[in-house]
Amino acid sequence: MRAVSLVVVLIMLNTATALGVVHNQYQKRLVGIELARVMRDKDILIDKWSQLLVEYAAWSANSRIEKIAVEQLGMKYEYSNYAYLRM
């Protein structure tokens, strides 16, 4: 009788373990899908970031600033004690 009970318990444990493996595999695949999505998002964000950096660099280029300072604001370089742009 004891032996039969032991076998039943082992069968139940075996079944539970098998279900656990299946569940884990399923979870792993869900996480895999999520990871792939996040990696795609990461690439998109990197691309967007690089575009913003290019835009930032273009807006803040010295040649552009100088052009605006000289042509629109009428500033000029002063080489006295300090070199600076003055109105």
Partner 1 sequence: MLDGVIKRQTIWHILIVLLMLLMAFGVSARVVYVHVAKGEFLRNEGERHYKRNIPQHAYRGSIVDRSGTELAISAPSVSVWADPSDLLEDLDGLMKLSRLLGDDFYTLKRKAEKLSGKNFMYIRRQVGPDIATKIKDAKFGIVSTITERKRLYPEGGVFSHIVGIADIDGNGVEGVELAFNDHLQGTDGEISVIRDRLGRSFEVIDTPKVKIDGQNVELSIDRNIQYIGYSELRDAIAHHDAVSGMLVVLDVKRGKVLAMVNYPAYNPNDRGSMVARNIRNRVVTDIFEPGSSIKPFIVAAALESASLDPHERFDVSPGYIRLADKKIKDSRNYKELDVAGVLSRSSNVGIIKIAQRIDDAILADKLRDYGLFSASGIELPGEATGLVVPQPEWGSTYKSFLSFGYGAALSALQLANSYMVLANEGIRRDVSVLNNSSPVRGERVMDAGVARKVVDMLHGVISPEGTGKAADTAAYMVAGKTGTAKKLKNGIYQDHSYVAVFTGLAPVNDPQIVVAVIVDEPRKNGFYGGQVAAPVFSRVVSRVLSYLDVMPDMEKVAAPGAGTSI
Q: Which residues bind partner 1 (CB under 8 A)?
A: 28-30, 32-33, 35-36, 46-47, 50-51, 53-54, 57-58, 60-63, 66, 77-84, 86
Residue 3 or 58 with smaller CB distance to partner 1: 58
Residue 5 or 63 with smaller CB distance to partner 1: 63
Cβ–Cβ under 8 Å, residues 55 and 47: no
Residue 14 or 55 with smaller CB distance to partner 1: 55
Burial class (CB within 10 angstroms; exposed 0-12, middle 13-18, buried 19+) of 75: middle
